[in-house]
Every structure is written in C-alpha cells, then in structure tokens.
C-alpha cells in the first residue's frame, strides 16, 4: 500500500477504522473462556511473582460470585465464554520505533498517529493487543526519576511500588468487571512521578484491539507523589468484527498531597464492543484529579470516572462527552465522593444522541458527614440530533453534611430547524451544519484537550456522523 | 435577477402569502414595507428556502434558475443572502470559525488562512467591531445590535448578489443603524441587489431605495419611489388599510 493513502481512501463506510492486520501471534491462550487454569497460564507466561498469581485467582473468584449488573446497559448478549482472555503479539516490547514490526506500524500509519506524535511528543506508549509494543520516554524524565512503562514491566522492575498500590483504589471485588480485569489484566501503563516533578508534555498511550473475540484488559496505575503534576492521555480505537468484543479496563490514580493528575481519554471502539471500564482516583490534601473522558463508538459503554476527595482542600473534576449513534448506548457520567472538609468538585457531562442511539448520564455525588464547606457542581447537557434519539439522566445525590454547597443543572436541547436553516443559508450543507452544531456543543471539552487530540475528537465525531443526514 | 410570480405560501395550513409578484433587476434596492403580520418575514424566509413554509403555487427564479428545488445552501452558493431578524445562537462555534466555514463554502476555491484573517479584520473594521468579537460564540449572549451587525458582517464576507434584509433595522439605536447602513452601502453597485424588509421608514434615510412596495395581507398592494416611504411614515398603515384593504381582501 502506498504510504500516502488516507483513511478516507480506504473506502470503509460503516466504521472508518475497520481495517485489521493479519493475525500473527506469539502467544495466545489455547481456548476461549476463563477458568483458574487460564489465569495461572497467563501469570506463568508473564513470570509474575506468586502474590500477583494469588491476587488474580482471588479476583477470579469474585468475578464468578458477582452477578452481572442489571442496571445501566443491556448485557444479556454478553457471553464470557466466547472470549480469548490473553494474546501476546510479539516476543519483546519495542523500545524504539525501528523495533516495531511493519504490520503494526501500518496500523498506526492508518490511524495517522506516529508522524505527528513522533515529532511533537516525547513519550508514547501504545498498546497493541495485550502488550505494549512501543514505548519511549524522554531522557530528562528518566533523569528526574519519572517511571512510564507498561504495567507488566512496572511489576517486573518496580515490584515494591506496584505491590504497595496495585488494587488499593479499585479492589478486585469492587464490581464484576473490575474483578474480571484483576484476574486477567495485561498491559496498560504504570506511571510514577516523584515529589515536585512537573511533566509538561502529556504522556500518551494509544490502545488498539486487533484479534477477533479478544478481550482487552489493560490495567493502569498512576502515582503522582507530593506536589507533582502529570497529564496522561489514552486513546483507543478498535477495528470492526462481526461478533462482540469486550474491553474492560481498570485505571487507578493516586494524587498525593499537593499533586495534580489529569487523565484524558478518547475512546472510539467499533460498534460491537462492550466497553465496561472502572476508573477511580484518590486525591489527598490539596491534590487535584481531573478526568477528561470522550466516549465514541462501542455497542455499550458503561463508564463513570470517579474521584475520592480524601484530604482537606482536594479537588476533583470530571468532563465527559459521549456520542451515541444508531444502536449504541453510552451509559456514562461520573462519581465524586467528598470525604474531607473544603473539598470541591465539578462534573460536566455532554452527550449527543442520533438515530436510535441512547445516552445516559449516571452520576453520584456523595458528601460525607464532616466534609464541611465542600462545594460541588454537576452540569449535564444532552443534545439530540433527531426525533428517535433518547437521553436519560440519573443523578444520585447523597449528602450527609449540612454545611455544603451543591448545584445540579441538566439541559436537553435538540438541533433545531431554525439553527440548521441559519447555517445552511450561509452555504453549509445540512451535514456540515449538523457537524458544526455538534462541534460547538463539545467545544468546552475539546478545548481541555491538547490541540491534536481536540482535532481528532472533532474528526472522529465527523466520521461517525458522515452519511447520517438526509 | 430575481423574479417572483404569483407566490402563494402556507404555514401549518394557514395562507400567509397570497399571490405576490415582484421583479428585481441588477443593482436595484427595493424596500418592502408593511404592518406586522402582513407576511414580510414569511416572504424573506421563503426566498431563502426555510423548510417550514409550504409554497402552494407560483414561481421564484433567481438569475434564471428556479430556486424551489434548491436547498438553502445551494441558494447561498448562487449568491442569495438573508440577514435574519432573529439569528440563531450556535454555542461553542466562534464567529471567526463560522465566517471561515461560510466563506469557503460559497467560494469555488478556499481562501488561504492569511487572506481569510485579513478579510475578517477588514470587514470588522467597516462594521466598527472590536477584533475580540471574532472569538465570541456565534450570537450567544449578543445584544440585539451586535446580532444585526454580525449579520451584516457575514453579508460583507460572503459578498452576495442579492441580500434580503428581514427587519435588520428593528431594535437598533441610531448609531448602530448608521453602521449597519454603511455596511449595506459598502456593497452597493451594479452587481448587488437588495430587498429591505422593514416596518419603518427610518433605515431608508440611510439606504436609499430605488423602489418601495407596500405589503398588506400577503400581497404587494402598491409600489412607488422613495417618496412612498415618506408618505407612509406620514399617514401610517391605517391609511394603507383604508386605501388598499379592500383590494387585499378580494
């Protein structure tokens, strides 16, 4: 394939990133489904310490014990026995771009990632199947003691730190999908930022599922030590297959006193993926945790990034945007728990629904007794692109403390005939007019992203909307 | 340039325009005056192709082309422009971004970013607008005067062959009215025609029309030169009703 071909030229209508490489795997579990033997095989293959194997097996028990959630989205078609739980694509993790195999490079080329990233961005971790294949880190970060590697490498090289924090923010028995991830996790990122170190350029990882019927269970742990700052960016796009894929990640953030972590995600799963993710951060005294979360694609997404404000003066912010097209259900939102005085939080959720798409805002705001002078604001805005689209709001609020200030605001708007007419009268086609309204709607989120990701978010939404009008 | 023949328009089953005829030549400025509810704004929206109105009879041709089959964006590309009475708000989309998209939509070749920047600066200067205005979200939180100026700014950017101005003067103070008029006069020339729809004679002091028409109950009941506007201002719409009401109802 000539190098200068673009995604548009590939002529893929339904799901624009639906190409896939021939499957060549170094290691794949011998059968679909999950049991203690498969879990032990994964752990052994990774040469893990005994405690991790025990962690996994205990988590597997929780997974079997816990019922499938009956709230949220429809999981009745989810068949856990039809999934390969571990695939490893190549022998060793690539350290430089030259080490990355050609077909994997091609995939990145089609996504338009490497050219831009290689030049302007210093650290790139990209997860291909279950292993990180490409990882580089700017020298000065290494000098200042920053650790940024895949989770498996983190466990091998920094076992003491991993053992101290792994599974402490999201215990394996937290929910059925966190339990599943804990049992079979592979890949993801491990980040440690030493006290006082500010990383100015975002750390980035690009995830991608390639094998049919393969679950992706990455596990990310980020620890920002006292007074440090890090912005981590994760992006995901999966190719299209006819049977259902499962993505179930766990992300744990720890912001120690005075630290700040920003975690940005743009996820664009193929339309048959179940995207069931548990994300949670703990913010200690005067620390800040921010989730910026963009959800596109997938068949069903259930994701509610959470911040636990555990120390006085801690702050949490969740910005979430979801696009639900035909046949998709985006069940997203955020959770904030105020457990200390003078803490503050802001949840901003924006959803777009089109055709038979459905978007749900599901949020929890909890203020514990003693969290005096806490402030919280929840704002959810839904945009409906046509008559059939649907949106629901479930804002759960539990307040045990009297001296608090909480606000909640919800709006639903439709792209109006007059609005489209106005834009079209200036020469924009109906499709362009619709895209402009949608891009404007998500602008408050897009402007929080680095420029190239904001552009990608707009472009992805445009791709999703193409051919949807008229 | 524009020819309207026996135009009949309904909205929700109610007849609003009841057989209207009008011909506008190149370089001509026509004023359509009339009381509230006479169908002026309906006419403006129908000319631009608003989907809510149903044209039940008649024909509109613009530069020889039947526009009924054309979407609003296609009409814009032919050189038609409507300055809205109530422009829609588009949160999150800056005026500059909107202008760039609109200008490149109607042009055959895209303008370079630098030329676009210069063009926006130049036209905003004519409209006496603060450069910061370009960064505000389209019509969101704009005052009435700002919205109208912004409409004329768009007109200057798009350089239409025919501009329809739907009560652009309403709600403007005298300073804003002068600026808006200046914008229109900027384009005035042999290749620019305009239809100024208004309730009042006031704007016609600044934009001198070639023809003035009076609209009543969905029809143009009388036409004349700019003096007709003065006579109307003097005698009021009640006079029109008495003089022409019977013919409008027949």
> Which helix (H) or strand (E) segment is A268 a member of?
strand A260-269
- Chain position carrying tokens 């100024």: B196
**pLDDT score of A173 more than 80:** yes
Beta-ladder partners of B192? B189
Cβ pair A268, A292 in contact under 8 A: no
pLDDT level of residue A188 (50, 70, 90 thresholds): confident
**pLDDT score of A398 more than 90:** yes
The whole-number pLDDT of residue A447 equals 84
Work out the average pLDDT over A376-389: 91
Rounded-to-5 percentages of helix, strand, coil across chain A: 25, 35, 40
- Could you tell me the mean pLDDT of each successive run of 10 residues in chain B, 250 residues long? 96 93 96 93 96 94 93 97 96 95 92 93 95 95 94 97 95 90 94 95 93 95 93 88 67
How many Å apart are CA A65 and CA A53, to the nearest integer? Answer: 19
- Chain position carrying tokens 């694509």: A89
User: Chain B within 8 Å of A23 (Cβ-Cβ)?
Assistant: no
pLDDT level of residue A89 (50, 70, 90 thresholds): low
Which residues in chain B have Cβ-Cβ distances shorter than 8 Å to A383?
none
CB contact under 8 A, A427 and B137: no
Cβ pair A435, A424 in contact under 8 A: no
pLDDT level of residue A237 (50, 70, 90 thresholds): low
How many Å apart are CA B188 and CA B207, to the nearest integer? Answer: 9
The whole-number pLDDT of residue B218 equals 94
Counting residues of chain A whose pLDDT is more than 90, the rounded percentage is 51
Torsion angle in degrees (nearest 10) through CA of B51, B55, B59, B62: -20
How many Å apart are CA A176 and CA A60, to the nearest integer? Answer: 9
Q: How far is B103 from chain A (nearest CA, A)?
A: 8
The whole-number pLDDT of residue A302 equals 94
Which residues in chain B have Cβ-Cβ distances shorter than 8 Å to A439?
92-93
The whole-number pLDDT of residue A328 equals 92
User: Chain A within 8 Å of B109 (Cβ-Cβ)?
Assistant: no
User: Chain A within 8 Å of B58 (Cβ-Cβ)?
Assistant: no
Buried b (16+ CB within 10 A) or exposed e, A82-106: ebbbbbbbbeebbeeeeebeeebbe
- How many CA atoms within 13 Å lie on the side-chain side of B248? 20
From A441, which residue of chain B is nearest by alpha-carbon distance?
B92
Which residues in chain A have Cβ-Cβ distances shorter than 8 Å to B105?
426-429, 432
Which residues in chain A have Cβ-Cβ distances shorter than 8 Å to B84?
422, 425
User: Chain A within 8 Å of B51 (Cβ-Cβ)?
Assistant: yes
CB contact under 8 A, B158 and A425: no
Q: How far is B73 from chain A (nearest CA, A)?
A: 4
Beta carbons within 8 Å of A112's beta carbon, 6+ residues apart: A7
**pLDDT score of A107 more than 80:** no
Q: Give the tens place of pLDDT for each residue, A28-60.
A: 677 788 999 999 999 998 899 999 999 999 999
Which residues in chain A have Cβ-Cβ distances shorter than 8 Å to B72?
421, 424-425
User: Chain A within 8 Å of B81 (Cβ-Cβ)?
Assistant: yes
Which residues in chain B have Cβ-Cβ distances shorter than 8 Å to A427?
73, 76-77, 102, 105-106, 158
How many Å apart are CA A62 and CA B82, to the nearest integer? Answer: 64
What ipTM was assigned to the predicted interfaces of this complex?
0.96
pLDDT level of residue A206 (50, 70, 90 thresholds): low
**pLDDT score of A181 more than 50:** yes
Work out the average pLDDT over A431-437: 92
**pLDDT score of A135 more than 90:** no
Across chain A, which distance is largest between two alpha carbons, in Å? 68
From A431, which residue of chain B is nearest by alpha-carbon distance?
B73
């Amino acid at each position: 394939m000539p190098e200068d071909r673009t995604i548009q030229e590939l002529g893929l209508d339904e799901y624009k990133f639906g190409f896939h490489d021939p499957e060549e795997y170094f290691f794949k579990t011998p059968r679909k489904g999950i049991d203690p033997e498969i879990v032990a095989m994964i752990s052994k293959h990774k040469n893990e310490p005994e405690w991790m194997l025990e962690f996994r097996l205990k988590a597997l028990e929780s997974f079997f014990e816990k019922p499938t959630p009956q709230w949220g989205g429809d999981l009745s078609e989810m068949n856990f026995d039809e999934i390969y739980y571990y695939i490893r694509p190549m022998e060793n993790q690539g350290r430089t771009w030259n080490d990355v195999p050609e077909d994997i490079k091609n995939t990145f080329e089609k996504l338009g990632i490497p050219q831009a990233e290689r030049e302007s961005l210093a650290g790139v971790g990209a997860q291909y199947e279950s292993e990180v294949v490409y990882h580089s880190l700017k020298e000065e970060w290494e000098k200042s003691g920053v650790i940024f590697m895949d989770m498996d490498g983190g466990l091998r090289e920094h076992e003491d730190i991993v053992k101290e924090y792994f599974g402490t923010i999201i215990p394996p028995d937290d929910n059925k999908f966190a339990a599943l991830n804990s049992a079979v996790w592979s890949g993801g990122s491990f980040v440690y930022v030493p006290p006082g170190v500010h990383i100015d350029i975002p750390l980035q990882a690009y995830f991608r599922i390639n094998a049919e019927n393969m679950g992706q269970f990455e596990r990310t742990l980020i620890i920002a030590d006292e007074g440090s700052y890090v912005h981590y960016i994760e992006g995901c796009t999966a190719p299209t297959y006819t049977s259902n894929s499962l993505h179930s990640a766990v992300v744990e953030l720890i912001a120690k006193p005075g630290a700040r972590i920003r975690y940005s995600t743009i996820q664009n799963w193929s339309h048959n993926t179940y995207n069931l993710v548990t994300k949670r951060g703990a913010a200690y005294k005067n620390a800040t945790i921010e989730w910026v979360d963009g959800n596109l694609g997938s068949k069903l997404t259930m994701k509610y990034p959470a911040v636990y404000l555990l120390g006085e003066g801690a702050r949490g912010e969740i910005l979430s945007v979801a696009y639900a097209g035909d046949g998709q259900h985006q069940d997203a939102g955020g959770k904030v728990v105020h457990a200390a005085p003078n803490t503050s939080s802001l949840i901003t959720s924006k959803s777009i629904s089109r055709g038979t798409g459905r978007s749900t805002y599901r949020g929890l705001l909890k203020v514990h007794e003693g969290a005096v002078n806490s402030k919280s604001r929840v704002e959810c805005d839904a945009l409906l692109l046509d008559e059939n689209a649907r949106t629901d709001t479930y804002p759960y609020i539990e307040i045990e403390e009297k001296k608090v200030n909480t606000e909640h605001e919800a709006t639903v708007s439709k792209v109006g005939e007059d609005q489209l007419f106005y834009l079209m009268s200036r020469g924009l086609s109906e499709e362009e007019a619709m895209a402009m309204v949608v891009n404007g709607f998500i602008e408050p989120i897009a402007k929080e992203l680095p420029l190239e990701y904001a552009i990608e978010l707009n472009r992805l939404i445009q791709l999703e909307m193409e051919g949807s009008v008229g | 340039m524009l020819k309207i023949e026996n135009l009949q328009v309904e909205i929700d089953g109610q007849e609003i325009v009841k057989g209207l005829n009008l011909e506008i030549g190149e370089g001509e400025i026509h004023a359509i005056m009339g009381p509230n509810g006479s169908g002026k704004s309906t006419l403006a929206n129908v000319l631009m192709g608003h989907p809510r109105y149903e044209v039940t009879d008649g024909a509109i041709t613009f530069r020889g082309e039947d526009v009924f089959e054309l979407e609003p964006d296609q009409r814009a590309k032919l050189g038609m422009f409507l300055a809205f009475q109530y422009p829609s708000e588009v949160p999150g989309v800056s005026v500059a971004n909107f202008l760039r998209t609109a200008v490149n939509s109607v042009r055959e070749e895209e303008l370079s970013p630098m030329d676009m920047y210069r063009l926006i600066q130049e036209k905003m200067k004519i409209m006496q607008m603060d450069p910061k205005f370009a960064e505000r979200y389209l019509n969101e939180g704009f005052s009435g005067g700002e919205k109208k100026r912004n409409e004329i700014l768009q007109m200057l950017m798009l350089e239409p062959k025919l501009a329809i101005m739907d009560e652009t003067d309403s709600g403007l103070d005298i300073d804003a009215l002068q600026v808006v008029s200046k914008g229109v006069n900027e384009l005035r020339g042999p290749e620019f025609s305009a239809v100024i729809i208004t309730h009042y004679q006031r704007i016609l002091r600044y934009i001198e029309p070639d023809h003035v028409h009076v609209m009543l109950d969905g029809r143009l009941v009388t036409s004349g030169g700019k003096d007709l506007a003065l006579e109307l201002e003097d005698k009021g719409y009640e006079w029109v009703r008495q003089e022409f009401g019977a013919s409008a109802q027949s």
